[in-house]
């Protein structure tokens, strides 16, 4: 028996079960955001559609992780932190994935082919938010680096504020320069979906802060 | 004294008080959704307006139930489950009723007379969601059929996903075929209100899942 | 040692720390709402922009208070009520401030210079809501007047209902009379931001009700 397996032997089962699932879910957000940026930066519309389909599949994978966390919750009496906080963290991460996929879905359904600078900028902010979520979630299993988690939460809040600014300015520009009202609404809807994805990142940060307040 | 009244004598008072109120509130959603579908399917605009008024009255009745649950909460020390969960369940059911009435209110205020297929489809999904909520709430008083409640929650989530799809496709069609931007916005707002009613059904499911996690 | 300082000596430290911060945050909402109304009622566009800037500064001040409450939460083991409820109350008050500032930000960015009656009316309802929040928060430190807090919550709910009505009618009027779709969307967005500020007041009332249910 290696040292490592002896160590694992003593780690309570609930920790071994929940944290890898959280980390897969948060890692999935980083992958989704990267695929989103790749899709937006390609001029090849067929390639872009394929990358959009990849995002759909990643979102389905996230749904399966969510389902599995709920399943583990029903099987495990002891949980690493409050059951409600586990469900809230799981749902909040799932909401980020939903809005990334929802943004892509709108761009595809509304046939938004011209990708504007604010769309790219918001996608980049979603990536930054996802990276901070992933970093914070990876610190959760070992609450000794509480400061790191708190710092990620602060950065997520700042990212959300930047996304608000990008959104507000982009919509203001639409009002100034887009004379076709139908086009204006279409782009406004796409920008709003992307901006809401960063709101959902902030919700994850709020849940993480609640977990810190209760457990640290 | 009949067997039944002896039985009632031993049922803790809090159960006798809260569950009938929850069941009236969830039953009220089913009635509201049915009246909504009847209103949308009639071509007689005067009849439709009367049915809309009926929905307003049902929403008021729901408000009274909400108020009464809060009142009981302030009078009863012992509650069938956590006080916070009772207020959340009550508010979530109330939110569904609010959005049903809100959708109708928009159709009436914006003079939306032509009822489209997606509007009917969303109303049908609201009815399906309300029926699942009502079934789940009726299982709450006796948490032995936890599986039934969990199944209803899964079905409510699937209903909400279907509503998302109907909404997304309907809005995409508006962007393709509706050249009058003001009409486009009007229908988009009505569809959004109906779709949000199914989001509120999902919120009820989330509260029910929290209650299961804590009590089952 | 004066009588007053002897008294302060025996007041638990946590009470001395948290309640003044809550009261500053709720008082800040009243100040922001008053500046908003002043800004909307002036015809001098330069003066109005200055008042908008003042609202930005007040919102920053609110952010600092939020930050300080979180800091105290991390330092104090004993809190006057549940840690989660403190964070929720803090966030809910912060959300009201965010939406007041957000409304102003939209009016400024979208160059909405003509202030309509519904805009004024919604701002007045935000002020009324802020005053009720401030009154309720000032009763929190001494939970003997639970009735007063509950009454404020009821009034906040009624204010939110009135705001809904004002918003619905205003949007219906836009659909009837505003033939320029871009202008219509612009005003609808501003009205929606103002109306959401009253929704956020209702969220504060919901948190206050939860605190009452748990502590009274």
| pLDDT tens-digit map of B9-38 | 445 566 788 999 999 999 999 999 999 999
C5 touches chain A (CB under 8 A): no
CB C26 within 8 A of CB C58: no
Helical pair B45-75 and B13-41, crossing angle rounded to 10 deg = 170
C68 touches chain B (CB under 8 A): no
Of B164, B171, B181, the CB nearest to A181: B181
Q: Tell me the chain B residues in contact with residue A111 when contact means C-beta distances shorter than 8 Å.
A: 175-176
Nearest to B151 by CA among B131, B167, B166: B131
DSSP-assigned letter for residue A111: T
Residues 6+ apart with CB under 8 A from C45: C113
pLDDT at residue A74 in the model? 79
Chain A nearest-CA distance from B148, in A, is 15
Contact state of A172 with C87 under an 8 Å Cβ cutoff? no
B76 touches chain C (CB under 8 A): no
Q: What average pLDDT does this structure show over A195-201?
A: 97
Q: CA-to-CA distance for C81 and C67, rounded, in angstroms? A: 18
Nearest chain C alpha carbon to B184: C181
What's the ipTM?
A: 0.72
Q: Tell me the chain C residues in contact with residue B186 when contact means C-beta distances shorter than 8 Å.
A: 175
pLDDT at residue C7 in the model? 46
pLDDT at residue B4 in the model? 47
pLDDT at residue B169 in the model? 94
Q: What average pLDDT does this structure show over B194-198?
A: 98
pLDDT of residue A9 exceeding 60: no
CB B158 within 8 A of CB B110: no
The torsion angle over the Cα atoms of residues C122, C124, C126 and C127, rounded to 10 degrees, is 170
pLDDT at residue B143 in the model? 79
DSSP-assigned letter for residue C110: T
pLDDT at residue C4 in the model? 47
Q: Is residue A5 part of a domain?
A: no
Nearest chain B alpha carbon to A71: B213
C109 touches chain A (CB under 8 A): yes
pLDDT at residue C144 in the model? 82
Q: Is residue C4 part of a domain?
A: no
Q: By residue range, what is the domain housing residue A114?
A: 11-215
Q: Is residue B6 part of a domain?
A: no
User: What is the CATH number for B41?
Assistant: 1.20.58.220
Q: Is residue C187 part of a domain?
A: yes
Q: Is residue C1 part of a domain?
A: no
Q: Tell me the chain C residues in contact with residue A81 when contact means C-beta distances shorter than 8 Å.
A: none
Nearest to C192 by CA among C162, C161, C170, C159: C170
Q: Mutation target for A interface from C97, C109, C174, C193: give the one with most A CBs within 10 A.
A: C109
Instruction: Name the strand (E) or helix (H) holding C169.
Output: helix C146-177
Chain A: list its partners (3+ Cβ pairs within 8 Å): B, C
- Per-residue pLDDT tens over the stretch C110-162: 999 999 999 999 999 999 999 999 999 999 988 788 899 999 999 999 999 99
Of B102, B106, B182, the CB nearest to C181: B182
Nearest to B163 by CA among B103, B207, B211: B103
A188 touches chain C (CB under 8 A): yes
**A–C interface: beta-carbon pairs under 8 A:** 40
Q: Is residue A6 part of a domain?
A: no
Q: Is residue A40 part of a domain?
A: yes
- As a three-state string, the secondary structure of A185-208 is HHHHHHHHHHHHHHHHHHHHHHHH
Of B105, B182, B185, the CB nearest to C168: B105
Give the distance between the most distant pair of CA atoms in chain C: 72
CB B116 within 8 A of CB B173: no
Structure tokens given for B158: 């699937």
Nearest to A184 by CA among A172, A175, A197: A175
Q: Is residue A2 part of a domain?
A: no
- The domain total for chain C is 1
- Per-residue pLDDT tens over the stretch A116-156: 999 999 999 999 999 999 999 999 988 788 899 999 999 99
Structure tokens given for A37: 């940026």
pLDDT at residue A40 in the model? 98
Q: CA-to-CA distance for C123 and C128, rounded, in angstroms? A: 9
Q: CA-to-CA distance for B183 and B167, rounded, in angstroms? A: 16
Structure tokens given for A190: 């796409």
Which portions of chain C are predicted below pLDDT 70?
Answer: 1-14
pLDDT at residue C145 in the model? 85
């Amino acid at each position: 028996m290696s040292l490592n397996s002896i160590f694992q032997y003593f780690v309570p089962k609930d920790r071994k079960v929940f944290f890898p699932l959280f980390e897969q879910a948060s890692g999935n957000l980083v992958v989704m955001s990267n695929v989103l940026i790749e899709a937006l930066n390609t001029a090849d519309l067929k390639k872009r559609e394929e990358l959009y389909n990849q995002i759909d599949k990643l979102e389905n994978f996230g749904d399966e992780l969510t389902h599995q966390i709920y399943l583990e919750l029903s099987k495990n009496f002891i949980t690493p932190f409050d059951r409600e906080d586990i469900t809230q963290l799981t749902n909040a991460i799932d909401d980020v994935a939903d809005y990334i996929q929802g943004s892509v879905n709108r761009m595809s359904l509304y046939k938004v082919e011209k990708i504007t600078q604010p769309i790219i900028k918001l996608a980049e902010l979603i990536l930054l938010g996802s990276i901070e979520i992933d970093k914070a979630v990876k610190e959760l299993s070992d609450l000794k680096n509480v400061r790191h988690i708190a710092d990620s939460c602060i950065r997520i809040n700042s990212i959300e504020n930047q996304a608000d600014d990008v959104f507000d300015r982009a919509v203001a520009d639409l009002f100034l320069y887009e004379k076709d009202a139908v086009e204006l609404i279409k782009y406004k809807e796409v920008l709003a979906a992307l901006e809401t994805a960063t709101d959902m990142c902030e919700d994850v940060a709020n849940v993480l802060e609640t977990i810190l307040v209760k457990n640290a």
